[in-house]
C-alpha cells in the first residue's frame, strides 16, 4: 500500500489533527429553492392533505419505474405494511426476508401477525441468496421480501421464479429508486415494490413511501388500507347517497399529504442527476480504495446498475490490528461520519425473544456484519469531501495495518 505523508500523521483518536474540521455525515438530503417554491405553491393552493399532488406524485413514480400503479403512503414502513396487507399476509403465514436490512422490512410481516422467516445472503452483494430462500419455502410461505441492499437490486428473476404463482414478491426497494436490473427499472419487476422518501433516501418528502405494482387488485387493496380500510365505490354512493362509504377491512391512516408530495415531485426532477452523482462518487472511492488490501470493495453484478444509496466496504480484519469498532471510532474522530448497515435483524432482542432467533443461524450475514462499514455517500458531497474520506480511510487503515 502507498503510505502517504498524511497516513504517517497521528490519528485524531490519539490527539492528532482530524482530517476534517467538521463532521461529514454518512447521508444528507438536498433541498433547493425550487423544492421550497413547490411546497409553498401547495400551501397556497387550498390543499394540505389528499389533493392533486398525491396523484401527480404517484403518476410520476409509476411512469419512472414502468409500473401500472403507484400508491403513496405516509412512510416506507407504512408502505411495507400496506404491501403485507395487500398480499393477504396473516397469522399462520410465513414470509421470507433477509437479516441484513432495516428492521422495518421484517416488522411489516409481524404487523400482520405472520411469521418472519430469515434466509442468508449471498457473499458478494449481501442480498438474499435465492438458494437459501428456496430451502426455506414451505406450504405456509405466502411472501418473499428481498431488499435491494445499498441500492444494488436483489436477484429478482431467480426470486420471482421461486415464488411462482402462489407466493407474492414484495421488494423492499427503499435503497434502489433509479436502479436498473437487466435493463429494467426497479419498481416495475416484482409483484409489489416499496420505496421510502425519508431524507437519507434518493427522494425526500420528509416522511413518505410508495408501493408500485402492475396488479389492479393489489393497488385497490393498498388504497383501501391507507385510508382506514374504507372502500368507497362511486356507484354505491350514487345509489345510497353522497355520504355513503363502507369500511370492509381494518386499515390505518397512512395517507401522504399534498405538502409532502409537492416536495417529492420537485425532488424527483433531480433523481437522474443525483443517482449519476452517487455513481461518480462510487467510482472515485473505487479508484482510490481498491488498492488497499485491508478493504473489500462493494461488488456490482454485471446485470445491474445500482442506485448507490449506501457505500458499504468490508474490512479484512485478518490484515488489521483493530476491529471494526476501533476503525469506526478512529474515522469518527477524523470527522468522517461512518456508519454501519445493518445490525442483522434476527439478532435484535425482540426477534431473539419473540421468535427464538439466535446468533450463528445466518453465517454469511453475521460475518459480513462484523466487517461492514458505511462511508459517506450523498449527491451534495463535493470531490473534496470524497477525497477527505479517502485520506482518512488511508490514514486509519495504515495506522492499524498488521
Which residues of the shown chain bind ligand PLP in the complex (CB under 6 A)? 75-77, 101-102, 104-105, 147, 172, 174-175, 196, 198, 209
Q: Which of 208, 206, 146 is nearest to 179 (CA)?
A: 146
Distance between CA 264 and CA 208 in Å, rounded?
Answer: 9
Which residue intervals of 139-201 are DSSP H helices? Answer: 156-163
By C-beta, is 172 or 366 nearer to ligand PLP?
172
- Please report how close the Cβ of residue 73 comes to ligand PLP at its closest, in angstroms: 9
- Please report how close the Cβ of residue 143 comes to ligand PLP at its closest, in angstroms: 15
- Please report how close the Cβ of residue 111 comes to ligand PLP at its closest, in angstroms: 12
Q: Do residues 338 and 372 touch, judged by C-beta distance below 8 A?
A: no
- Please report how close the Cβ of residue 376 comes to ligand PLP at its closest, in angstroms: 16
* Pair type for strands 230-231 and 246-247: antiparallel
- Please report how close the Cβ of residue 307 comes to ligand PLP at its closest, in angstroms: 12
Distance between CA 116 and CA 369 in Å, rounded?
Answer: 20
Q: DSSP secondary-structure letter at 192?
A: E
Q: DSSP secondary-structure letter at 302?
A: T
Give the count of beta carbons closer than 10 Å to the beta carbon of residue 8: 10
- Please report how close the Cβ of residue 79 comes to ligand PLP at its closest, in angstroms: 7
**Gap between the terminal Cα atoms of the chain:** 12
By C-beta, is 87 or 147 nearer to ligand PLP?
147
- 211 φ, ψ to 5°? -115, 130
Q: Which of 142, 201, 319, 395 is flagged as catalytic?
A: 201
Distance between CA 252 and CA 363 in Å, rounded?
Answer: 37
By C-beta, is 308 or 400 nearer to ligand PLP?
308
Give the count of beta carbons closer than 10 Å to the beta carbon of residue 48: 11
Q: DSSP secondary-structure letter at 151?
A: G
Q: Do residues 364 and 121 touch, judged by C-beta distance below 8 A?
A: yes
Chain residue at closest Cβ approach to ligand PLP: 76
- Paired strand residues for 116: 95
Q: Which of 313, 310, 323 is nearest to 293 (CA)?
A: 313
By C-beta, is 76 or 82 nearer to ligand PLP?
76
Longest dimension (CA), the chain: 81
By C-beta, is 75 or 267 nearer to ligand PLP?
75
Catalytic annotation on 201? yes
Strands (E), 262-349: 295-296, 304-305, 311-315
Sequence-distant (6+) residues with CB within 8 A of 93 are: 112, 114, 115, 140, 141, 142, 143
Integer CA distances (angstroms), 148 to 52, 113, 155, in order? 30, 24, 9
Residue 72 CB-density burial (10 A; 0-12 exposed, 13-18 middle, 19+ buried): buried
- Please report how close the Cβ of residue 116 comes to ligand PLP at its closest, in angstroms: 14
By C-beta, is 76 or 251 nearer to ligand PLP?
76
The catalytic site residues sit at 201
Amino acid at each position: 500500500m502507498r503510505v502517504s505523508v498524511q497516513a504517517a500523521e497521528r490519528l485524531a483518536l490519539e490527539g492528532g489533527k482530524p482530517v476534517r474540521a467538521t463532521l461529514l455525515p454518512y447521508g444528507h438530503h438536498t433541498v433547493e429553492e425550487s423544492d421550497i417554491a413547490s411546497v409553498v405553491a401547495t400551501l397556497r393552493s387550498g390543499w394540505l392533505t389528499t389533493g392533486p399532488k398525491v396523484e401527480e406524485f404517484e403518476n410520476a413514480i409509476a411512469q419512472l419505474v414502468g409500473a401500472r400503479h403507484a400508491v403513496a403512503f405516509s412512510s416506507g414502513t407504512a408502505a411495507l405494511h400496506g404491501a403485507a396487507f395487500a398480499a393477504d399476509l396473516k397469522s399462520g403465514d410465513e414470509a421470507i426476508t433477509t437479516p441484513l436490512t432495516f428492521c422495518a422490512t421484517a416488522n411489516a410481516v409481524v404487523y400482520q401477525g405472520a411469521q418472519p422467516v430469515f434466509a442468508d445472503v449471498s457473499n458478494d452483494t449481501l442480498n438474499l441468496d435465492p438458494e437459501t430462500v428456496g430451502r426455506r419455502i414451505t406450504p405456509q410461505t405466502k411472501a418473499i421480501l428481498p431488499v435491494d441492499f445499498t441500492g444494488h437490486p436483489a436477484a429478482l428473476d431467480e426470486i420471482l421464479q421461486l415464488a411462482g404463482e402462489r407466493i407474492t414478491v414484495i421488494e423492499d426497494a427503499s435503497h434502489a429508486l433509479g436502479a436498473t436490473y437487466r435493463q429494467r427499472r426497479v419498481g416495475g419487476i416484482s409483484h409489489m415494490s416499496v420505496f421510502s422518501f425519508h431524507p437519507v433516501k434518493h427522494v425526500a418528502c420528509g416522511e413518505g413511501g410508495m408501493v408500485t405494482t402492475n396488479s389492479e387488485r393489489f393497488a385497490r387493496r393498498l388504497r383501501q388500507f391507507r385510508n382506514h380500510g374504507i372502500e368507497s365505490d362511486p356507484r354505491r354512493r350514487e345509489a345510497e347517497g353522497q355520504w355513503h362509504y363502507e369500511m370492509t377491512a381494518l386499515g390505518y391512516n397512512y395517507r401522504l399529504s399534498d405538502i409532502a408530495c409537492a416536495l417529492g415531485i420537485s425532488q424527483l426532477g433531480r433523481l437522474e442527476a443525483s443517482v449519476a452523482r452517487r455513481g461518480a462518487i462510487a467510482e472515485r472511492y473505487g479508484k482510490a480504495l481498491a488498492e488497499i488490501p485491508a478493504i473489500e470493495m462493494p461488488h456490482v453484478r454485471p446485470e445491474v446498475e445500482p442506485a448507490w444509496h449506501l457505500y458499504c466496504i468490508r474490512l479484512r480484519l485478518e490484515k488489521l490490528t483493530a476491529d471494526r469498532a476501533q476503525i469506526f471510532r478512529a474515522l469518527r474522530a477524523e470527522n468522517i461520519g461512518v456508519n454501519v448497515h445493518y445490525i442483522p435483524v434476527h439478532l435484535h432482542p425482540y426477534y431473539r425473544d419473540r421468535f427464538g432467533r439466535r446468533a450463528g443461524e445466518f453465517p454469511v450475514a453475521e460475518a459480513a456484519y462484523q466487517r461492514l462499514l458505511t462511508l459517506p455517500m450523498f449527491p451534495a458531497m463535493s470531490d473534496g469531501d470524497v477525497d477527505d474520506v479517502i485520506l482518512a480511510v488511508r490514514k486509519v487503515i495504515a495506522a492499524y495495518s498488521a
